[in-house]
Amino acid sequence: MPTETARICRLHWGALLAAGLFLAACSRGSSPSPALRVVVDDQSLKPSVSSTAPGPVRFEVMNQGALEHELVVLRTDLPAAGLRMHADEDTVDEDASGQKVGEIEDIAPREQKSETFNLAAGHYVLFCNVLGHYHQGLAINFEVK
């Protein structure tokens, strides 16, 4: 029959092993998405980086302008300055220009909004599609590689 000390020792090792396995399981896949900060004002849209790795990416958009803005994440082969326009010529035809991966809408002045989108490798354009804003320069090329 095992001694009391040996039994307690086995219990402690068993508890440590279980805790280690639990922590390892919890840490898998739970790392936060990389944050990509985007500052938008009434004349420009500026991401903190020009490229990122594929996978989930958290967009943190800060509106420093006086007008309401939005951020559209569009996967496309077109350059930022060459997106297809609707007949009114004041908004981008998102469907004709590429594949919309996500959108953060209604970002009021001095407001910050965040959302995570899963990005595959490829070329993207980040832009504001509020009436007239695309033509004011609120669009930029972005790479996922």
Per residue in 7-39, pLDDT tens?
A: 554 544 444 444 444 444 444 444 567 799 999
What is the chain's length? 145
Q: What's residue 103's pLDDT?
A: 98
For residue range 117-133, list pLDDT tens digits in order: 999 999 999 999 999 99
Q: 9 is written with which tokens?
A: 């020792």
For residue range 58-74, list pLDDT tens digits in order: 999 999 999 999 999 99
The pTM of the full predicted model, rounded to 2 decimals, is 0.78
Q: How far apart are CA 56 and CA 145, in angstroms?
A: 13
For residue 65, give the nearest of 12, 110, 100 by alpha carbon. Answer: 110
Residue type, 26: C
Q: 140 is written with which tokens?
A: 């930029």
